[in-house]
Every structure is written in structure tokens, then in C-alpha cells.
Amino acid sequence: MLRGLPVLFALSACTGAPAPAPETGDAPAHRIVSQTILSDEVLWALGPAAQARVVGVSALADDPRYSGVAGVWPPATPRRALTSEGLLALAPDLAVIASFTSPEVRELLTSHGVRLLEFTRFTGFADYRSHVRQLAAAVEDPAAGERLIADLDGRLARLAARRPAIRLAAVSWGDGHAAAAGTSFDDVAEAAGLSNMAKEKGLEGHVPVALELMVSWDPPVIVTGCPAPEPDDPACRAAEAAVAALPGVRATAAARGGRIFAVPARALASTGEGMARAAEILQDRLRAEPP
């Protein structure tokens, strides 16, 4: 199994009542330090004008397991860890953080006059649209943000037009955790034409679900993550085989029907454009292997 991926999922699709975001004001930002993978991705996608205002990206920006912009930001753009006082050396006027950023880092930044743009919700496509618009406003290019959103909506419309005639239930499961209601997987499943089995069981958030319980649900589809950039990578096939080999899994409808699907973690755990990519991967697999 893929140790550590559920932790990433918990961060990328958290639920609950987030702490109120600090006010960022309406002033544009000219020196932005990005400290989330999502903002690394969106700031790049907004285009050259936005990229020129970025003085630092997150330490995970180049990790191909999780980042959709691995190797894209120029080497001259500093990569900074969230806890590093090196952030201040970049003289940012805006830092993009998340609701799980530690109080110590918030205090470090705000005490030196750095404004914070905090992403507080990561539960699906609506939150992604909100984050895009926030960043586009910060770089004074709302039109670029709307272009990104229009691209997303076009992809979702194409997915909706191709949904399978039979709506199967899926469980996104790994290392004893399942993604239930209020997670990005819930939107991904809906877009692909699946239902979220953990949500149907009345669960919410990323919750512990023992293997025995998951098997007892007899899911028609099991979704898991794989540490590879593309779904046809051997690592994804190995992840599927690893799940199938777990006690009791071979008896499930998913295993019997050949519907244990591994999705690259950077798509399955994404709270950005990768959510659409995850839905496209799942739908392609469903159409290639009809029930």
C-alpha cells in the first residue's frame, strides 16, 4: 500500500469548520510566496503576468507524486519550506497559506508585515473556483482566472455527456481510510459518473475504515492512489494488485469485475485541476471495462 497518501488526502480534502481567514485586503500583490501545491499550480496556470509576481513556491512544487507543476517553475524561483525563515528573505508582500498552516508560521509572517491569503476549504470544484478567483484578483488578472474556470467547466461538461448508463458505487480507500462526504473525491466521483459509497454509508470527511469493513460493503469499484504521474505507469498496476491481494478483497464485486482502479496521487489528492483529471481517468477506465 502507499504509506503516507491518506495524510496527503486529509490535507487536500479536509472538512469541518475552518478557522476564519485573515483579511488580505484589496491591494494587489507584487511579491507572492506560494506555500501550497494548489497555489503553485494556479499561479503558473494564470500565465506569465502572474508568474512574474511569484518570488517563491512551496517545497513540494517539484514532487511529481503530488504536484501538477513538477519541474515547471524555473530553477531560479526559490523553493521554500513552510517553516523556513528563508521566506522572509524573499521580501514577500503576500503569502498564500492553508488552514492547516501552523500558528507559528502565521505569526512569523504577519509580524513582519506579510499579508496572508488563506485557503480554508478544499472540498471540491466550487472551492477550486473560489481559490482561482482569489489568486487572479491578487495578481490583477481576473480574466485569466475566468479562463481557467471556463476550461474546467468545459471538461466537466464533457464528462457529464459521457457518463456511464449504469451508476456504480465506488469507495476511495487506502491505508485504512476512505474519502466520504465533503471531500474532493465526492466531487470527482460525481463528475466521473460514480456514487461515493462512503458518503452513502453516512460518513463524512476522510475517516478510518478498517479493511474488513470496506470488504463487507462489497464495493463495485475500489479507487486507490499510486505514486506515478500517469495512470498507465507500472506503479499504478502494482498498486491495484496490492489492493487486490489484501485479505477478502478478491471476493468483492470490484475485484470480480476488474474494477480496482489506481489513480495517480497527484490527481486523486488534488484540490485543483487534478480533480478533473482524476474524474477523466476514472471515467475512461469505466468505459473501457463496462460492468
Same domain, yes or no: 132 and 175? no
Same domain, yes or no: 96 and 188? no
Same domain, yes or no: 19 and 115? yes
List the domain range (segments joined by +) for residue 188.
163-288
Same domain, yes or no: 123 and 17? yes
Same domain, yes or no: 168 and 151? no
pLDDT the model gives residue 245? 98
Same domain, yes or no: 149 and 241? no
Of 115, 141, 157, the last residue of a domain is 157
User: CB within 8 A of 92, min separation 6: which ones?
Assistant: 31, 32, 33, 55, 56, 114
CA neighbor of 221 nearest in space, from 279, 136, 145, 153: 279
pLDDT the model gives residue 125? 98
Per-residue pLDDT tens listing for the chain (291 residues): 443 443 333 333 444 334 334 444 457 899 999 999 999 999 999 999 999 999 999 999 999 988 999 999 999 999 987 666 788 889 999 999 998 888 888 898 899 999 999 999 999 999 999 999 999 999 999 999 999 999 999 999 999 999 999 999 999 999 999 999 999 999 999 999 999 999 999 999 999 999 999 999 999 999 999 999 899 999 999 999 999 999 999 999 999 999 999 999 999 999 999 999 999 999 999 998 644
Q: How many CA atoms lie within 13 A of 179 on its CB side?
A: 36
Using N-to-C axis directions, what is the helix angle for 184-192 and 274-288, rounded to 10°?
Answer: 40
One-letter amino acid at 219 equals P
Q: How many CA atoms lie within 13 A of 268 on its CB side?
A: 32
User: CB within 8 A of 271, min separation 6: which ones?
Assistant: 12, 13, 38, 122, 127, 128, 131, 184
Same domain, yes or no: 106 and 91? yes
Rounded to whole angstroms, how far apart are CA atoms 179 and 31? 36
User: CB within 8 A of 50, min separation 6: which ones?
Assistant: 43, 44, 135, 136, 139, 141, 144
pLDDT the model gives residue 26? 54
Same domain, yes or no: 71 and 185? no
Note whether 71 and 62 are within 8 A (CB): yes
Of 157, 191, 208, the last residue of a domain is 157
Split into its structural domains, the chain has a count of 2
pLDDT the model gives residue 104? 87
Residue 1 lies in a domain: no
Same domain, yes or no: 40 and 75? yes
Residue 195 lies in a domain: yes
Same domain, yes or no: 151 and 167? no
One-letter amino acid at 93 equals D
Same domain, yes or no: 113 and 168? no
pLDDT the model gives residue 83? 64
